[in-house]
A = this chain, B = another copy of it.
Amino acid sequence: MASVFGKNIQVSVWGQSHSPAIGVTVDGLPAGEQIDEEVLQEFLNRRAPGQADYATTRREEDRPEFLSGLVDHVTCGAPLTAMIRNTNTRPQHYENLRDVPRPGHGDYAIGQKFHGFQDVSGGGHTSGRMTAPICIAGGICMQILSRRGVEVRAHIAKLGGVTDTVPDYCAQTPLPKLPAGRFPTFSEEAGKNMHKAILAAKRQADSIGGVIECIVTGVPAGVGDPMFDGIENRMAAALFGIPAVKGVEFGNGFAAAELLGSQNNDPFVVKDGQIKTETNRHGGILGGVTSGMPIVFRVAIKPTPSIGQPQRSVRLSTKAEEELVIKGRHDPCIVPRAVPVVEAVAAIVLLDFLRK
């Protein structure tokens, strides 16, 4: 199924950019978990377009209405459904895209799949707007994980040639939370420079990509399954569900491919009476199963394909090449807003594993 994932916790994401509503159903949450809607809202606000000059100017309050699954803010074991109304729907400046696909977008491929019946308006079901329901599900999972000692933190690791680093990939204490409104880097300096790179792209009516890194602390050793159902398998599968993700790597990832074994292996050591690895090049996962070290992974986000520059495309009905100028409001860089989405997906996948 296109829009369902998970095994013990199953998340079903529904809605289109301009349908009456978007939402999510989460089946399999443990019963008896209090959901703090204020904390959830703060999390959702990190994704919301807000006033940042690097985001779309579309304004929408992503305030979910809970339709099922809660009794007095506590999960009751039944599927939880939350909905956000789309107040800003059915504009007319998208219909052209059914016949003239945008380069880098799914318009053409999805049109072939659905024989032209797909909802093109605002990107339809594959719009970045669909990450709002993912964040609702993920934000709820983060609250539940947090009570079990598991904390999920992502940041922009690389953007426009600027790098943000994590102080210690072996530390078992969670990294600081990055609040809504703040550019999502640990180093403010790095954030400022990334921000500049985004504005530079914006000025050229262009867009820019980046790399998001996620660190999860508190997952015990022995979680996951070897071979095809490990943390890496299911995490990667879910992460590629975030629009614009084109790569996923764990621990040293692609850099490991350029190393020798003696440079990439992590020696086992005893620290405070616990078995640890001295370094964390493996990113907390060995053989598909957690080692007890922080889980570390990175996702590559391509530059959003919606750019203001004229582009070459083809009119499908006539097979004539033509120039396309994309209208509408678009983010010059979706990476900052994708940071909480990566956290959300990580939280859903890990709670799913821990539910077993």
Complexed CA–CA distance, A209 and B113 (Å): 38
A108-B275, A237-B233, A270-B319 given as contacts; is B79 within 8 A of A113 (CB)? no
Give 30 pairs: A residue, B residue, CB < 8 Å, sorted on A: A3-B79, A4-B10, A4-B229, A8-B356, A13-B227, A15-B67, A16-B68, A76-B114, A77-B118, A78-B124, A103-B265, A104-B261, A105-B286, A106-B288, A108-B221, A109-B292, A113-B289, A204-B260, A207-B262, A209-B258, A236-B236, A246-B283, A247-B253, A249-B300, A254-B300, A260-B303, A262-B311, A265-B311, A269-B314, A270-B321
Interface residue range, chain A: 35 or more
Q: Would you list which residues of chain A between 76 and 124 have a CB under 8 Å from chain B?
A: 76-81, 83, 101, 103-110, 112-119, 121, 124
Complexed CA–CA distance, A261 and B320 (Å): 23
Closest 4 CB pairs of A and B: A106-B287, A247-B249, A112-B222, A78-B125
| A56 in the interface (beta carbon within 8 A) | no
Cβ contact within 8 Å between B300 and A257: yes
Complexed CA–CA distance, A224 and B226 (Å): 26
CB distance from A3 to the nearest CB of B (A): 5
A228-B238, A233-B238, A258-B161 given as contacts; is B78 within 8 A of A313 (CB)? no
